[in-house]
Structure 1
Amino acid sequence: MVDTAPARPFADPLPRRRAVRPPRIWAPRAPIPRGWRLGLIAASVLVPVTVWVIVSATGRVPEEFLPSPAAVWQAGLDMARSGTLAADTWASVQRILIGFGLSVLVSVPLGLLMGGFSAGQALCEPVVGLLRYLPASAFIPLLTIWLGIGEPSKVMLLFIGTVFFNTLMIADAVRQVPRAQIDVSYTLGARRGEVLRKVVVLHALPGMIDAVRVNAAAAWNFVVVAELINSEEGLGYRIARSQRFLASDRIFAILVVIALIGLAIDVLLRLLRDRVGRWV
């Protein structure tokens, strides 16, 4: 006997409701007024700082564990006056410029190869996808054996820690280029090199900058680890040295410096991405 009962829908139909528009500030992906935006940005900074001031002022947490903002400010001034803060900051920035710079130089062409060509994806993506799961800190013993305890091992740790993720993210940005644009370019008589330079690279460039922006934060994480390897200067080295003497105010001051430098890099790369992305 054939069952002629109507099939049950996958989901019950929605009840009829009067159309209600959510407040603009909470509507998904909706723009918000400039005043609200600035207020929320200020609150995101002021609320944690206020909580920090209140907690430190109560005295419930010992000063060695949570110094007051005033103590952190004074520690930062002392390091700045002595010159150690500038020297340590420049040492860390140099290592990031070299190590992460090499990572970008390798990951951009490799990401273009993997994202723009099926053969490149089949050839490179399996090994890159495998290597990205290896923790960079696990390479420290090998790097000290191969390169010694000097600057090369620190730079290579930064390179290993960022190159694989950077490559995969750049490849994903390249894959977002619409196939229709590539086909139209060939139809209009463009050569393969011209399509790669004038269509693929230009369309994927904002996404590639975003990948660099995200992985620049990872570079700062790895530079602290790298500077634990027989360093004599650097922000990571200064954190480790301050820990030995329970100088938590100096540790907090260095963390604030790292956060401000990272914020400056992030803002600059965002501005560059927005300027570059105007034609996309």
Structure 2
Amino acid sequence: MTQARIGSPAPAAAVAAPAGEAPQRRRHPWLAPLVPVAPNTRWMLGLSFFVLFFGVWAVVTLGGFVPRTFLADPMTMAREGMTLFTEYNFIGDIGMTVWRVVGGFVLAAVIAVPLGIFMGAYKAAEAFFEPFVSFCRYLPASAFIPLLILWAGIGETQKLLVIFIGSFFQIVLMVAVAVGGARKDLVEAAYTLGANSAGIVRRVLIPGAAPEIAEILRLVLGWAWTYVIVAELIGSSSGIGHMITDSQALLNTGQIIFGIIVIGCIGLVSDLVFKRANQRLFPWSSIQ
């Protein structure tokens, strides 16, 4: 047999794996854990799922597999959506729903974030507040609607309070956990440099937890959209939830689906805006 020249590189297939280890196969980047995807690829993959979803929906409805009384096809849904905008002032309903979500969520965040920071920084405060906050966190906001109608009527206050109750306790506990998980070495270093307790909270705990707090607010904002629809289903004369209730009485599944899609689109846009703002405000954060 012909001998390979001394010093010439061996073929890649001939390189033996270390003893006791199986040869590793080169995996596609999409199949490798935690390997990031290029931004353009991410957008393409996300959009392709929506195309697939609407394609399956069209085949199921237009093909007669599901009666249109129970599930309208995409074209009927689009026509009903145009009717909502042109004849029923649906843009006003969207504005009312957005205002309720923003109002209740901001009210909850303004109170919950400082309380969560206080609980996370001081363990005595956490021991005092945490059992009650954990208890309330498991109470569904919709269960308070009958009481809130008795206390505040069926006006805007009742709807804002539903969103407040659904968001407040979640934010408090999650912020407390984020602040309480600060690195102890940074705290000790700050004490060594002469910082007092207030300085530790202001210069170490809050800046360290700020990216995670912003991410918590982004997640809870999505939950607030579920609470506002529940609030609008009962005793409301405006809003997307009110439109869905009226459409359900008329068996107009096209309008119901259109309202649901509008909620999803608004939530998706707000989520992307929130995420982009977090990336600009906290570029050092690993939360992306």
- Which 10-residue stretch deviates more, 173-182 or 241-250? 173-182
**Counterpart code for 2:68:** E
| 1:62 has 2:67 as partner | yes
**What is the TM-score when the length of structure 2 is the normalising length?**
0.87
Q: Which amino acid aligns with 2:57?
A: W
CA RMSD of aligned residues (A): 1.6
Q: Which runs of 5+ in 1 are unaligned?
A: 1-14
Contact 1:52 1:68 in 2 (8 A): yes
* Matching of residues 93-112 of structure 1 within 5 Å: 93-112=98-117
Deviation at 1:51, TM superposition (A): 0.5
Deviation of the 1:197 alpha carbon: 2.1
Give 1:1-280 correspondences, 5 Å limit. 16-82=21-87, 84-280=89-285
Between 1:256-265 and 1:31-40, the stretch displaced more is 31-40
Give the CA deviation at 1:236. 0.4
Measured against aligned partners, the alpha-carbon deviations of 1:181-207 in whole angstroms (never above 9, x if no partner) come to 122122222333332222211221111
Query: Equivalents in 2 of 1:172, 1:31: separation in Å?
Result: 27
Deviation at 1:119, TM superposition (A): 1.1
What's the CA shift string for 1:206-260, capped at 9, x where partnerless? 1111111111111111111111231110000110011000111111111111011
How many residue pairs are counted as aligned between the two chains?
266
CA distance in 1 between counterparts of 2:26 and 2:177 reads 35
Alpha carbons 1:205, 1:276 under 8 Å: kept: no
- Aligned-partner Cα distance in 2 for 1:144–1:31: 48
- Which one-letter code corresponds to 2:273 in the other structure? L
What is the CA–CA distance in structure 2 between the aligned matches of 1:194 and 1:44, rounded to whole Å? 48
Tell me what 1:7 maps to: none
Gaps of 5+ in 2: 1-19
CA separation of 1:35 and 1:152: change in aligned 2, threshold 3 A: closer
- Map of 1:8 onto structure 2: none
Q: Is the deviation greater in 258-267 or in 210-219? A: 210-219
Q: Give the distance between the partners of 1:272 and 1:33, measured in 2 at CA.
A: 20
CA drift of 1:34 comes to 4.4
CA distance in 2, matches of 1:272, 1:144: 36
| Aligned-partner SS, 1:278 | coil
User: In the alignment, which residue of structure 2 is the partner of 1:9?
Assistant: none
Contact 1:154 1:229 in 2 (8 A): no
1:35 CA displacement: 4.9
- Counterpart secondary structure, 2:282: helix
User: What is the one-letter code of the residue matched to 2:31?
Assistant: W
> What amino acid is the match of 1:211?
I
**Shift of residue 103, structure 1, vs aligned partner:** 0.9
In percent, how many aligned pairs have the same letter? Answer: 35
The answer on whether the counterparts of 1:224 and 1:236 sit within 8 Å (CA) in structure 2 is: yes
Cα distance in 1 for partners of 2:87, 2:198 equals 54
Which 10-residue stretch deviates more, 33-42 or 20-29? 33-42
Alpha-carbon spacing, 1:102–1:34, altered in 2? closer, same or farther (3 Å) = closer
Q: Is the contact made by 1:170 and 1:211 (CA closer than 8 Å) also made in structure 2?
A: yes
| Larger radius of gyration between Structure 1 and Structure 2 | 2
Which one-letter code corresponds to 1:197 in the other structure?
Answer: R
